[in-house]
Chains A and B, each alone.
Chain A
Amino acid sequence: MDDMLFYDRLQFAFTITFHYIFPQLTMGLSLMIVFFKWKFLRTKSVKYNDAAKFFMKIFAINFTMGVVTGIPMEFQFGTNWAKFSELTGSIIGQTLAMEGLFSFFLESSFLALFIFGEKLMGQKLHFLTGFLVFLGSWASGWFILATNAWMQHPVGYEILDNGKYVLTHFSELFANPWLLPAFLHNQVASVVTSSFVVASIGAFYVLRQKNIEYGKLFLKTGVIFGLISSLLIAFPTGDWNAKNVAKYQPASFAAMEGIFETEEAGAEIVLIGQPNMVEKKLDNKIAVSNILSFLTYQDWDKKIQGMDQFKKEELPTNIPALYYSYHIMVGLGTIFIGIMFLAGFFLWRKKLFTIKPLLWVIMFLVPFPYIANITGWYVAELGRQPYLVYGLLKTADGVSPTVSSGNTLFTLLGFVALYMLLGLLFLVLVGKTIHQGPKHQTH
């Protein structure tokens, strides 16, 4: 049984991590494509249209990957988490089905039109289809986060005698206090990813002295979007999420912040340190006193519950992973603000395009927003453990009763092999597109 659970979790974690590489760019990039298209309509300067079309190509490849890795996600609720699906289908089935009906249809119907319909329908309509693609992808984020929010903080339900969860208040699914902050944070995070991608391609062109016009445009747009989104990711959205965790999942909060012992007179914030699970303390700690209490409750001396306050069964199962994920995310977030601030400053002073070291940094920054996004999700998902539905349903009680661990291991290995291939193809194709560069259209 334990083995079975382990492979099921590993397969879910692997496939969702891989899936999430793609939607984050889809959601962020669709916003930036709409922006380029809008600039083109306003200024009539063709380079904006070229930029929109260039990113559309990258978007299309990325989208395909998102779709083919997304379908396995939906299936897996039934294949690997049958018990969970059976018990909670009345509730999370709602949001998942709405996602299909309202967002995937919108997105995929208009994407094809956006890609090849420019000549057919004129610029205004073309802009509109682009906007609908953007809307569809953000709606998809909204519904999936509503699903996740219910698992993190269940609302609007009732548990029947046979253990089934049934929906009693539909509107509460969307009024869930967990949802809005998580959605905003997550969407801004996807804008971080996309603006870093745009800026990085720009830096590459400028450094290579190729497609320089476009390079400068991409850099400028990427840095401006990057600066704004990096600021928003920390405050107010990140901060708001942290407060929510402290309020609704205090045990996860203690674990992610690395607080082993309750501090009565105000908690310190840990900058560096390695959780030592044997001695229940942080090794090599560097911390600043009282800051955490202030950040969480605007009160320097407020008590924060440490892990010692909770029973072992209530604590997240993998505390070090949770702690590191959180610190990597926040650490990267801080670094992003620093770098984007610097880049923004030089952009303003009109020097950015000549400062090579900074351009190199921007070019190689691309993997890091992905890492921050994925570790961010690890914080959410590991923090929820050992529950599948927080406080109610244990992860172990959600798995499929009839699928043996051998079968899960087999399919897991299959997914790993297949996704390696997909990843490789993705890189080759995106690399090719970047190498070819935007096509200049004579109008």
Chain B
Amino acid sequence: MEIFWYSIIALFLIVFFILDGYDFGAGIIHLFFAKSEKDKEVIAKSAGLFWDSNEVWLVAAGGMLFMAFPTFYASVFSGFYLPLIIVLWLIVFRAIGLEFRSQFQYQMWKDIWDKSFGVSSLLLALFFGIALGNIVRGVNLGGVENGVSAYEGHYFFLPLWNSSFSPLTAHPGVIDWFTIIIGIIAVVTLAIHGANWIILKTNSSINEQLKKVRFKLTIALAFLTIFSLVVWEIVRPNSLDNFADKPYLILFPIIYFTGVIGLFFVKKVNKEWIPLLFSSLVIAGGISSSLASMFPSILPSSNSINSSLTIYNTTINSYGLSVASFWGIVGLLLVVLYLIIQHRLRKGKVDEMDYGH
């Protein structure tokens, strides 16, 4: 049961990063590459028509995490208090940027909301990567100092950074050189993903340019991946053990690398959804490999006093989990149905679509 819910929540998070990922990416591209008003408008529209129904995946994943692993939810949300609240603020700025830009026709008004959309997309991508970095790095559960827990063993509190910016100290902050690297990988991945989305959904004049940008970003991604594997080994020395024990888990890294390699060769394919598929594989593979390397831990403890949080010691009673799986399956089917209906009705390029304002 625990594994079932763990997989469902992981699935929701992955779908969230694939779906909302393209509009985060569209925001990053928008910030750096969109110059003419026409392009800005279309790109904003390609995100604006979808962000809301994409964000629900996050809300639902949050709700299910709360239900299935409340101790984890409580520990992580209070421990990462500051970054999470900042993420909330960024989500607000991103959403209103998208929704409000076309409400008035003044250039200045639009510029403000374009920046709001672009900058917060960029920062959110960075923060989500940093969050993943924090989870795999682990935290000082219980706030242990000289062998004594300051809090109950499953609670902690992390400052935004400590002055050494090193993941290897006893009290790392949220932002250190390791998590920043993961953050940058997230930004690059989502930028590629966003470029693919824009190419698929719009006729904007920068599409050709974006294909070149995509190629460069893919090279960067490949280098960053290799680099991160090295530092990963430094930060979490036994992160490959799980893959050695359970060889079938290697499927996840394979998904990741299929995506990356695929992205190198997409220049030749005509079908515009293929690149998007590859960047989705990168996202899905990246998240699932990271989770698989820790399993069944979901938040490793960086001290030897308190044990890591796992899906087993943070969950609820089995009755609760099993009733939930009944409605969970029904809900999942409905959600997939909505997704299909939605994307069917909104297929094709968005340039001419009416935004309702």
Contact = CB atoms under 8 A, between A and B. Distances in A.
Query: Are A and B a genuine interacting pair, yes or no?
Result: yes
Interface of A: 56-57, 60-61, 64, 67-72, 74-75, 77-80, 82-83, 85-94, 96-102, 104-106, 108-113, 115-117, 119-121, 164, 166-168, 170, 400-404, 407, 411, 414, 418, 422, 425, 429, 432
B60 interface: yes
Nearest to A63: B52
A89 B63 CA distance: 10
A90 B342 contact: no
A78 B84 CA distance: 10
A414 B56 contact: no
B327 A98 contact: yes
B81 A108 contact: no
A106 B49 CA distance: 16
B66 A67 contact: no
B60 A89 contact: no
A79 B319 CA distance: 26
A381 to B, nearest CB: 20
Contact of B73 (A89, A116, A120): A89
Contact of A86 (B49, B70, B143, B355): B70
Contacts of A69: 92
Contacts of B107: none
B74 A109 contact: no
Interface stretch (B20-28, B221-229, B328-336): B328-336
Given A82-B78, A111-B52, A71 B341 contact: no
Nearest to A98: B327
A334 B279 CA distance: 59
Contacts of B78: 78-80, 82, 400-403
Interface residues of B, number: 68
B151 interface: yes
B59 A100 contact: yes
A153 B335 CA distance: 31
Interface stretch (B152-160, B204-212, B261-269): B152-160
> From DSSP, what is the main secondary structure of chain B's interface residues?
helix
B84 A75 contact: yes
Contacts of A78: 62, 66, 73-74, 76-78, 84
Interface in B151-197: 151-152, 155-157
A79 B67 contact: no
A82 B356 contact: no
Interface in B261-305: none
Interface string B311-325: 000001101100110
B339 to A, nearest CB: 7
A403 B317 contact: no
B74 A402 contact: no
Given A86-B74, A116-B354, A97 B91 contact: no
B131 to A, nearest CB: 13
B50 to A, nearest CB: 7
A116 B355 contact: yes
Contact of A89 (B58, B74, B81, B95): B74
Given A67-B95, A109-B341, A101 B63 contact: yes
B218 interface: no
Contacts of A432: 103-104
A403 B339 contact: no
A440 to B, nearest CB: 17
Contacts of A68: 91-92, 95-96
A94 B59 contact: no
Given A79-B77, A89-B66, A97 B324 contact: yes
